[in-house]
Amino acid sequence: MPRGPLLSLLLAAAVLAAAGFFLRGYTTDDTFIHLRYAENLLERGEFSFNPGERSYGATSPLWIFGLALLLTLGAPPLLAAWLLGALCGLLVVLLFWSMLRRLDLPAAWGTVVLLLAVGDVWFLRWSFSGMETPLATALLVVLVWPLIHRGGLPAGPGAWRLHLAWGVAAGLAALTRPEFMVIVPLAWPWLTWAGGGGSRPAGTPLIARLGAAVAGWLVVMGPWLAYAWSAFGRLTPGTASAKSAAATLDPMVVGGYLWQSAKVLGLTQGVMWLALAVLAAVLFIRNRGPVQGEAAAAGPEFRRDVALVGIAMTWAAVLMGGYAAKQVCKCVAELQYISCNTHRHARHSGGGNCNIEGDIYKLDRFYAQVNDGGLAVCHGCTLLKG
């Protein structure tokens, strides 16, 4: 392995470890709720907060199962929550690092982007809070991974296997956050289109690929939904229904919350966004030459780039109109590097060395505020284009 990428990974891991040290002992009220459910699951074999009273009052069954596993192995409750968050946070770092390597960024640029993403204060905070946020983030990165690895979900012979695997990952995501039952399936059309699904290639029919993805989702979610309906008489957590009922689209209320959230994010993420703005400005200056539109739109790289934007915007649009709890603070930064398109531009314009062209997309969570009027939740998608 080249020394540069390994050094960037070690630096990112060091940032995560330092945060874990300084945030040791930090917990939230929901952490104790998850631990209570995990303890009752082990001691009584029931999904409940109060012993003997089965209730769907926790929003992340998969996180509770993970906590129960660590408790079974002998970990103290608070250490189990901290350790599970740390492991999932490290998984996010590894996934994002691998994504950057596959995008073939120069070592220095890749290191800067990786450290900006890993050093985000909200990612670090929630990774060591004992909440499911790092696991949810990791699963979202896994779900867009086919765009980086294969340019989308394939359509050729045997493609149903990958669609089945993607459906399993989507089911795990839905078992981690209830809103993922809505937003995650909306990524499948984008991934299928990017992989050449609209060109009717010889291979697995579209309906078979869709069926494989649904089957994979049902393998994970089917048993849980059946249990939830029989045990609780509902398919979604009661807390999700209560909070979504309190959400509002009143522009005055939403605008106030967005402005308050913008101030908080400006204080905590200002340095990161300033650095990304400088990066975007440099990329814009480097790529002011003419772009051959037909050449850019001809290949699969164009579909990959559009699909990545489409997924981010689709997820953001759904989250803005629905419920998403505070634990899902944000997705990790999704970096696009249009390498093949840039090479094509350079060849068609007679240029020599290839320039860098990139788009940085970040799906940010704006903080929910609780007052006498209830809970209002808003999400936003910020696009920084160079």
Q: DSSP letters of 26-67?
A: ---HHHHHHHHHHHHHHHHSS-EEETTEE----S-HHHHHHH
Residue 321 near residue 249 (C-beta atoms within 8 A): yes
The domain of 328 spans 246-386
Looking at the chain, list the stretches that DSSP marks H as alpha helix, in order from N- to C-terminal side: 3-22, 29-44, 61-72, 77-102, 107-118, 121-127, 133-149, 160-176, 180-183, 187-194, 206-232, 238-246, 251-286, 293-298, 300-321, 339-348
pLDDT one digit per residue (tens) for the chain, 386 residues:
567 788 889 999 999 999 999 988 888 889 999 999 999 999 999 999 998 888 998 889 999 999 999 999 999 999 999 999 999 999 999 998 988 888 766 777 788 888 888 888 888 988 999 999 999 999 999 999 998 888 888 888 888 999 999 999 999 999 999 889 988 999 999 999 888 755 455 577 889 999 999 999 999 999 999 999 999 998 888 876 555 545 555 666 666 666 776 676 677 767 766 776 776 677 667 655 554 444 444 467 778 778 887 887 788 666 654 444 333 334 433 333 333 333 333 333 333 333 323 332 232 332 233 222 332 232 332 222 22
- Say whether both 179 and 65 belong to one domain: no
- Say whether both 385 and 252 belong to one domain: yes
**Is 232 part of any domain?**
yes
Task: Phi first, then psi: give them for residue 380, nearest 5 degrees.
Answer: -145, 155
Secondary structure class of 296 (helix, strand, coil): helix
Instruction: Round to whole Å and give the CA distance between 198 and 35.
Output: 46
Instruction: Round to whole Å and give the CA distance between 338 and 109.
Output: 14
Here the tokens at position 271 are 């340095």
Task: Phi first, then psi: give them for residue 87, nearest 5 degrees.
Answer: -65, -40
Q: Which of 86, 114, 131 is where one domain is finished?
A: 131
- Say whether both 2 and 123 belong to one domain: yes
Mean pLDDT, the chain, integer: 74
Here the tokens at position 258 are 């967005």
- Say whether both 175 and 270 belong to one domain: no
- Say whether both 373 and 251 belong to one domain: yes
**Is 241 part of any domain?**
no
Looking at the structure of the chain, the number of domains it has is 3
Q: Which of 236, 259, 292 is where one domain is finished?
A: 236
Q: Which of 211, 236, 261 is where one domain is finished?
A: 236
Instruction: Round to whole Å and give the CA distance between 106 and 147.
Output: 20
**Is 270 part of any domain?**
yes
**Is 11 part of any domain?**
yes
